[in-house]
A and B are shown apart, each in its own frame.
Chain A
């Protein structure tokens, strides 16, 4: 049989047995698609964490008031102790490894500009916060330390807030907005940062002087919610953490062995936590992917083996009318290859498609990697080809009569 005929015969045979062809391909399609999707989700979460490292800068340290939780119970020591501006100043003055420091006051509020209104987060900060988070002013300018201390009613807007309050392509600098009915003057727009690794919009935010937010939006408190710090470099971040801890223990009169009434978290610790969660997820997803590949493989195998009876007689007949062993093998090998390739390609398409669906419907971070595509494709092709070809080889080695008699 020449190759063209062989190809035609193989294609015809696949078309003639549509149900068998479809079922076999289904195994391959599902196997390949789920591996691609699973690994894409796993890879996506890993990537998103990596992106967060870059976003945050790995030398960022955060201090939260309140005891750390151990086994679900807050340790008793000094829950009443709070962080004050004095503590911030002390850290700035006395911890040599600290480069920038800014307290942060956060409030969620309704913002009105003309006829538009928008609900967003207001961050009360000192200018150094922009250095810590590597934020840049795109248009206009940042307020200074004196504004932050005095509580000037000025603010900088994130891109999303600008879009929603003023519309796109409008320069809001110099305009007035009302945050919880307090009038603010817009003095700048912050360069967009886009989605965070966690999927939240980092541009849906307003930055205002620290004390303005504390006084106007947080009920005139002096207690600090959170302090952002950056160490002079990444290597100094644990040293800075140590210095801060010693200083605060001294200031808050906490013994060395007691749990302090505040938590100091370096970016690295947070990342480690995130990475270990995502590692667990990746292992889980990879196991699901592995299982679906195996299930897919078994499906292919089953269908291929089930059709052996019919196919063995077909092989017997083909040999009876003059097919040589190698004609049979070529035909069946080609059929199996076509089937696996077709199923594999459809599986890849479905896998990529469903990964996209995860992105657009659930907003999950998903990354389709070429090695997962390759892996899934290779595996299903090997399984398909082997179980399509192996029974054929067995039958092709029989005497025609034995193949014809096969039950």
Chain B
């Protein structure tokens, strides 16, 4: 069966004009991502991973190149249409969580639905609660970000990315600020979501995190250097089981 192309980019470049110098962050990237895929983008720091991810998430615009998202030519869209696209088709997870401070987990998750006129309050609350359930935080719905551990905050951010049923979830180093165990827990969530059919693209510079994906795309100097299918794909649930028990204790302390 022919799978649907969710993302299709050709010859993407991005130049940051810093006045005196021009930084060529992306120098021509071609990539296709199909429905249901789990792709990890790897590469050294400064190789353009984040820049690329931001363009995929329609948070930034390429200097040149084509980008089709779910069949839509992104380059032709107005600002409002881009906002609409971000609202309906993309779920984005940031390295630094980017939760609204002094705002409960549930409200943070609700946020994208506030900008969807078709969704009424009742449905908004139901869907936000459902999203929180998927990341295992339904009991923390009323908590404020500063009452949550880093791992929990990132799970709230994932729930927020999920809530609008996006065609693709994009994550830029979602485990970058987390310890090993919490990272694995977050990856477990991504794998579960992927098993439900959600397309995922994530950036990481950690080799062991990339092993949770099916495909690794390796960036170097603003270009794709290598693409590999992951052999011996790791399952996060199993990896978590293998971790030494004392980590549990530390994690609980953190939560408290």
Contacts and interface: CB of A to CB of B under 8 A. Distances in A.
Interface stretch (A206-214, A233-241, A243-251, A399-407): A399-407
Interface stretch (A86-94, A120-128, A322-330): A322-330
Interface string B205-235: 0000000000000000000000000000000
Interface stretch (B5-13, B112-120, B190-198): B112-120
A356 interface: no
Interface in B27-72: 54, 57-61
B77 to A, nearest CB: 12
B92 A320 contact: yes
Contacts of B133: none
B144 to A, nearest CB: 9
Nearest to A317: B98
Contact of B98 (A9, A313, A402): A313
B79 A325 contact: yes
Interface stretch (B82-90, B146-154, B179-187, B240-248): B82-90
Contacts of B58: 400
A200 interface: no
A321 B112 contact: yes
Interface of A: 1-2, 5, 9, 12, 16-17, 310, 313-314, 317-327, 399-402, 404
Nearest to B55: A401
Given A1-B117, A314-B100, A399-B61, A324 B112 contact: no
Interface string B161-194: 0001000000000000000000000000000000
B160 interface: yes
B83 A324 contact: yes
B98 A404 contact: yes
A317 B103 CA distance: 13
A9 B110 CA distance: 12
A11 to B, nearest CB: 13
B4 interface: no
Contacts of B160: 321
B86 A325 contact: no
B134 interface: no
A325 B84 CA distance: 11
Given A16-B102, A321-B160, A324-B83, A5 B57 contact: no
Nearest to B111: A321
Interface residues on B, range: 20 to 34
Nearest to A326: B80
Contacts, number: 70
Nearest to A6: B114
Contacts of B57: 320
Contact of A1 (B59, B60, B98, B115): B115
A317 B100 CA distance: 8
A130 B201 CA distance: 99
Contact of B86 (A5, A313, A322, A327): A322
A318 B160 CA distance: 12
A9 B114 contact: yes
Contacts of A313: 98
B87 A401 contact: no
B19 to A, nearest CB: 16
Q: What are the 8 tightest A-B residue pairs by CB atom distance, in nearest-first order?
A: A322-B87, A321-B112, A322-B115, A16-B102, A401-B60, A401-B59, A324-B83, A400-B59
B54 A401 contact: yes
Contacts of A404: 59, 94, 98
Nearest to B160: A321
Contact of A322 (B102, B103, B116): B116
A2 B98 contact: no
Nearest to A319: B83
Given A313-B98, A322-B164, 19 more contacts: A9-B114, A16-B101, A317-B98, A318-B115, A319-B86, A320-B59, A320-B86, A321-B87, A322-B86, A322-B88, A324-B83, A325-B80, A399-B59, A399-B61, A400-B59, A400-B86, A401-B60, A404-B59, A404-B98
Contacts of A325: 79-80, 83
Contacts of A323: 83, 87, 115
A342 B84 CA distance: 34
Given A1-B117, A401-B54, A404-B98, A322 B84 contact: yes
Interface in B109-139: 111-112, 114-117
A151 B100 CA distance: 90
A233 B240 CA distance: 106
Given A17-B102, A404-B98, A321 B60 contact: no
Contacts of B61: 399
B112 A16 contact: no
B83 A322 contact: yes
Contacts of B84: 322, 324
Contacts of B100: 314, 317
A310 B115 CA distance: 20
A320 B103 CA distance: 17
Contacts of B86: 319-322, 400
Of B59, B94, B164, most A-chain CB atoms within 10 Å = B59
Nearest to B51: A401
13 contacts: A2-B117, A5-B114, A319-B83, A320-B98, A321-B111, A322-B87, A323-B83, A324-B79, A325-B79, A325-B80, A325-B83, A402-B60, A404-B94
